[in-house]
Amino acid sequence: MSDNSAVIATYGLKKAYGACMALDGANMQVRRGDIYGLVGRNGAGKTTLMRMLTGQSQPSGGEMELFGASGKDMRGQRSRAGCMIEVPSFAPFLTARENLEYYRLQRGIPGRQAVDEVLEQVNLADTGKKKFKSFSLGMKQRLGLALALMNHPDLLILDEPINGLDPEGVAEFRQILRTLNQERETTILISSHILPELSNVATRYGFMEQGRLLEEISAETLHDKCRTCLRLEVDDAARAAAVLQTELGTDKFEVLPGGVIQLYDCLEDPKRASYALAQNGVALLAMEQKGADLEAYFLNLIGGGRHA
């Protein structure tokens, strides 16, 4: 069942609270080196899933693996993960360094330099004697991230870390995650409501709704599905495809069921396509320009999911 490339794997994972099924058979694979964006509305099951992965909650059914280990063996592997499910409770009248030093001693992390290293990583090394109570929300979130990084984790699990941040704070947080992923090869599982920002950092996505994981998709495949195209409805898709190749000299299209062709060419001059089809005896029943972003794709996905 184990996949050597999978840092996180779940198989039919379930979590019930009485009659409420918070997680309903989730199957997920987070691969080594991913920045995996977990997308879903409030109550979709994202936080429930993250809590089970970090050992804060136990599943009602199904299986999960961390670095290939399952069951009781997961306990040892959790030391390789850092998490920020909620902003930790920091002492308001202590500085960033004093707060982290408290947690370092509490967790038995050796070496005082560990605090300096993570403060440098999250751009809080120059906060000096400034107390936590005077920190901006962005600084508080970055201090929470610093705490998650103190054990030099191979995996980061972050629940809504950019929620409520201003654009500058979001951009700064995004750059920190990219650096961790690219320079330290840290695998990251991150959930967020700010879908446009998630699309700037994620390399893979999982879409959740009503406790179910509806789809997993790479950023490259999602980009291909969301890119702008001409949607052509024709009476003869095979003939239309031949016309596009011979008359327009393009193979940038997909033939879909129901006489539909998605054309990724002629976007600035769609009349070229309609004229070529008409001249070669292909009836064009409808033509429209389409495109979608991450949010539109997600809304379309959950809309279809409700009627599945």
**Beta strand 253-256 with 204-209: parallel, antiparallel or unpaired?**
unpaired
Cα torsion 46, 49, 53, 54: sign: positive
b/e sequence 278-292, b meaning 16+ C-beta within 10 Å: eeeebebeebeeeeb
**Integer Rg of the chain from CA:** 24
Tens digit of each residue's pLDDT, the chain (308 residues): 455 589 999 999 999 998 889 999 999 999 999 999 999 988 899 999 999 999 999 999 999 999 999 988 998 899 999 999 876 789 999 999 999 999 999 989 988 899 999 999 999 999 999 999 999 988 999 999 999 999 999 999 999 998 878 888 888 889 999 999 999 999 999 998 778 888 889 999 999 999 999 999 999 988 877 888 899 999 999 999 999 999 999 998 989 889 999 898 888 889 999 999 999 999 999 999 887 778 888 887 887 543 33
pTM here is 0.80
Q: Are 11 and 1 in contact (CB under 8 A)?
A: yes
